[in-house]
Amino acid sequence: MKIFRSIKKQQQYSFKEKCKGRVIGFVPTMGFLHKGHLSLIDKAKELSNRVIVSIFVNPLQFAPNEDYREYPRDEKRDLKLLEEKGVDTVLIPELNEMYPNGFETYVEVSKLSKDYCGRSRPLFFRGVATIVLKLFNTVQPDLAVFGEKDYQQYIIIKRMSRDLNLPIFVIPSPIVREEDGLAMSSRNLYLTPSERKEAPVLYESMRRVKELASKGERNVKNLKKEMVKFIESKKYPRIDYIEFVDPENLKRAKILQGPTRILLAVWIGKARLIDNMEV
């Protein structure tokens, strides 16, 4: 497994592989890998013949009051997992090469970035879109796999790729969950044991909506009310938002008709957990 820390070296490698006709599949991550990340790698392996994974905790997507410094990191463990997975190349760019002095160019997917997670994290998606484009320009992949766990992010990257004519397929991959339904996330580490016990409430609340919907309840207001009541009956959770949206353009739905996705963010202790589900 090759490890590149230099942007130029990664670009040269990708260029050579593409000249040889190889299809490059890319999985960008912030490291501290879990089975969710590994499932994206499986998908990339299915669809390409060279898999490149990046590990980069991107300061641009953290607000000053957020957890950039505390964000869990374990490069040695990550590299072992990636080697076992049979990844071809890992890109671990240096911070000062990614963001040299005087850096001032940003990518903004204007409207899609403002709502939902963008409300409580106003510069978050600008940071995400900017680093993803920079990583795309470094890795030059044919396709890139993104987890549906971060559903709004996936839609924003898809929109950016379309709007900027990037020659890259943006591929979604389903959410990987713990046995009790909690979506896997590096940030689950922040939960205390008693908070962790309550954390599956996000998943359970969406499952309940699915059940109510299958029994005929179509009114989003009523379904949302049920979710809020259920989540607030627990000790720890504080709801940031719960929305029912069109899965393609993320516009709010009032009635369940056609495909609809529930998006939610809930604070449990100092962890802000996000999840989503198709209903």
- The binding site for ligand AMP (CB under 6 A) comprises 29-30, 36-37, 39-40, 146-147, 149-150, 173, 175-176, 183-186
CB of 182 to ligand AMP, least distance (A): 9
Q: Is 37 a catalytic residue?
A: yes
Reference 148, options 277, 32, 266, 279; nearest CA is 277
CB of 155 to ligand AMP, least distance (A): 12
Reference 85, options 138, 143, 132, 34; nearest CA is 34
Query: In the complex with ligand AMP, which residue's Cβ is closer, 178 or 246?
Result: 178
CB of 136 to ligand AMP, least distance (A): 13
CA-to-CA distance for 108 and 241, rounded, in angstroms? Answer: 22
Strands 271-278 and 261-268: antiparallel
Query: In the complex with ligand AMP, which residue's Cβ is closer, 220 or 261?
Result: 261
**Tokens linked to 39:** 């499932």
Considering 27, 37, 204, 271, which one is annotated as catalytic? Answer: 37
CB of 254 to ligand AMP, least distance (A): 28
**Tokens linked to 117:** 């997670």
Give residue number: closest CB to ligand AMP.
147
**Tokens linked to 78:** 């990550």
CA-to-CA distance for 9 and 20, rounded, in angstroms? Answer: 17
Query: Catalytic site residues?
Result: 37
